[in-house]
Amino acid sequence: MTKEVIRYGMVGGDLEAFIGNVHRMAIAFEANTRLVAGSFSRDAEKNQKTGANYQLDQDRVYASYAEMAESESRRSDRPDFIVIVTPNVSHYAIAREFLRRGFHVMCEKPLCFEISQAEELARLAREKDLLFGVTYAYSGYQMVKYARQLVEEGKIGDVINVNAEYPQEWLIDELSGTASQTAKLSGWRSDPQVAGISNCVGDIGTHIEHTVAYITGLRVKRVAARTDYFGQPLDLNANMLLEFSNGASGVFWSSQVAIGHMNSLKVRIYGTLGALEWYQENPECLIYTPRGEAPQYLHRGAGFSRAMPPA
């Protein structure tokens, strides 16, 4: 990418959507970025209104992603990268379209519904030498990166047990048959055809797996799982008994009906020489316990930060 202004386009993410504005804010942390094109909604009025709010030229607000991809790919001031923040079912087709036309792509999760689709997108990005990312954002925390580094350096030895969880409470009302009132799972999120085959495991359980894999390099080898639906079309709670690729054991728990929790992703990794604990609700802290020593509360700030690797 150029070192000057970085241009980007967005597919999905109208003003009423949740995650589009989060991407916009995150990108705005850098001074030299500018949103130049978008196809924010299939609803024409929402689409135009969002484009106007985001200060876009009107002719770069498109009725469809296909039109946007075709038109923008011919411009000299075309976007450097595209952000995809549409409902789950459409991620694959949109990502493929923009990768084919040579745009870098950052796509919301879940990436797709079939392994073969994911492999196709990965191959496409490699062939065209494009950046292609899926937003497993928790691995962006400095202390998660440092946890990974400690594992790589052998500081905790061989991993022997993993205990990780991601409880939330925001869908607790689904349990009592008042879901239609809260409408939290209404629309596409409650429709397996649009949302995909899993809600709790797919939406937040994947963050557990990704964070553990990112830190340890381990893959899940065998699973015994129990998912709870409480009469809803998609899962709201899940417990998993695991064996990892190196033979280590562990459990994953994800829930959207656990009272008292907001985004309580917690990962604890126990090795032969040390242990690590990271908690998303206090993300700048990593607890590292070397074998036979006291726990150290490593913190992105405080004196510790002076010895930290660059972010």
C-alpha count within 13 angstroms, C-beta hemisphere, residue 288: 20
* Closest C-alpha to 239, from 250, 229, 249, 253: 253
Nearest approach in angstroms of CB 150 to its own copies is 12
Nearest approach in angstroms of CB 175 to its own copies is 5
Token duo for residue 252: 């994953």
117 vs 161 by CB, closer to its own copies: 161
44 vs 302 by CB, closer to its own copies: 302
Nearest approach in angstroms of CB 137 to its own copies is 17
**8 A C-beta contact, residue 140 and residue 306:** no
In order, the DSSP letters of 100-128 are HTT-EEEEPSP--SSHHHHHHHHHHHHHT
97 vs 165 by CB, closer to its own copies: 165
Cα angle 118, 121, 125 (rounded to 5 degrees) comes to 140
Nearest approach in angstroms of CB 248 to its own copies is 9
The rounded Cα 269 to chain-centroid distance in angstroms is 21
12 vs 110 by CB, closer to its own copies: 12
Question: Distances from the Cα of 261 to the Cαs of 48, 74, 108, 173, in angstroms?
Answer: 37, 48, 23, 14
The rounded Cα 46 to chain-centroid distance in angstroms is 25
Nearest approach in angstroms of CB 40 to its own copies is 12
Nearest approach in angstroms of CB 83 to its own copies is 14
72 vs 165 by CB, closer to its own copies: 165
* Closest C-alpha to 250, from 269, 226, 273, 229: 269
The H-assigned helical ranges of 83-200 are 91-100, 115-127, 142-152, 179-182, 192-195, 200
54 vs 138 by CB, closer to its own copies: 54
133 vs 290 by CB, closer to its own copies: 290
Helix axes 65-72 and 91-100, enclosed angle (nearest 10): 10
Nearest approach in angstroms of CB 204 to its own copies is 14
Question: For residue 110, is the peptide bond before it cis, meaning its omega torsion is within 30 degrees of 0?
Answer: yes
Nearest approach in angstroms of CB 82 to its own copies is 18
- b/e string for 166-176 if b means 16 or more Cβ within 10 A? bbbeebbbbbe
C-alpha count within 13 angstroms, C-beta hemisphere, residue 217: 12
57 vs 129 by CB, closer to its own copies: 57
